[in-house]
Amino acid sequence: MKFPSPVSVQWIASLINADAIGNINASVTGINEIHRVEPGDIVFVDHPKYYDQCIQSPASCIIINNKTNFPEEKSLLITENPFEAYLTIVRHFRPYQPLTKAISDSAVWGKHTILNPGVVIGHEVVIGDNCFIGPNVTIMDHCRIGNNVVIQSGTVIGSDAFYYNKKKNREVWYKRMVSCGRVVIENDVEIGAGCTIDRGVTHDTIIGQGTKIDNMVHIGHDTIIGKNCLLAAQVAIAGGVEIGNGVTLWGQVGINKTLVIEDNVTVLAQSGVPGSLKRDQIYFGTPAIEATIKKRELIWIKRIPELWKKVMENKDQ
């Protein structure tokens, strides 16, 4: 999430009641989680295991619960509970505003765009020209929809991320991180019925131009899908995934979090993808591997009873 204008590190320190050290005269431009952090951003960390990852990231300012070594050009904001500090910042810059009507007065849409009955559109939503928004579609706050976009019945755009801060030393182990990112849908995208596309935790979930999505597809927070992709029914993509251009995911493919699928990959139906995939290949199986190798494996698996029978016959001789 970008702030409306840059703010000083000292002002942020005052907001969250933290001790500022390092480059305290610097300004920050937004807040982000570690997988999408950019220069000028604030990031938070509350476990020593991840201190170095956050401090060496592009972030300019780190909210942290202990003093540690850090580059002199950066600043640390030391506070007992960095997670609560993160929530304070998000709620200050993007407070929750309940809807009092189905379509917010601050939502705008372009010429020849059709909004069908039952549509709900949140605050500060922008929809382009020549779009079709089907019955009972929900588009939550701050989302951006391009031109010539089709969204079929019952789809939810911009639901909160499935993203929790976990601590076993408290009564409630899982505390939800408030989502302040957006969903950005580019031109000429088509989305089927009953899909869910989560907003970014702090960044954007992006669906690239020309991508077509079938019914009952789930796309997790902060995922970036490239241009001209095809996603068949019941595909499920976890958070923080980067998918290139021209990728095809056939029915019921499952994609693990924070991995990269390069350009022009095809993943065949019911495959499970636990790791990144190289470009211009066809993958199959769980875990997904190159389809030609997997198919040879399946042929040999079918031959196991025949081979076992021969082994036993030879044993008896």
Catalytic residues: 221
Residue whose entry in the numeric block shows the structure tokens 């494996």: 297
Beta strands in 137-239 (DSSP E): 138-139, 144-145, 150-151, 156-159, 164-166, 174-176, 182-185, 190-191, 196-198, 204-207, 212-213, 218-219, 224-225, 230-231, 236-237
Quickly list DSSP for 189-217.
-EE-TT-EEEPPSSSEEEE-TT-EE-SS-
Where residue 211 falls (left for φ over 0; alpha for ψ -120 to 50; beta otherwise) is beta
Domains recognised in the chain with CATH numbers: 2-93 (3.40.1390.10), 108-294 (2.160.10.10)
CB 145 within 8 A of CB 139: yes
Instruction: Please say whether the beta carbons of 159 and 199 come within 8 A.
Output: yes
Q: What is the pLDDT along the chain (317 residues), one digit of tens a residue?
A: 999 999 999 999 999 999 999 999 999 999 998 888 999 999 999 889 999 999 999 999 999 999 999 999 999 999 999 999 999 999 999 999 999 999 999 999 999 999 999 999 999 999 999 999 999 999 999 999 999 999 999 999 999 999 998 888 888 889 899 999 999 999 999 999 999 999 999 999 999 999 999 999 999 999 999 999 999 999 999 999 999 999 999 999 999 999 999 999 999 999 999 999 999 999 999 999 999 999 999 898 888 888 888 888 887 66
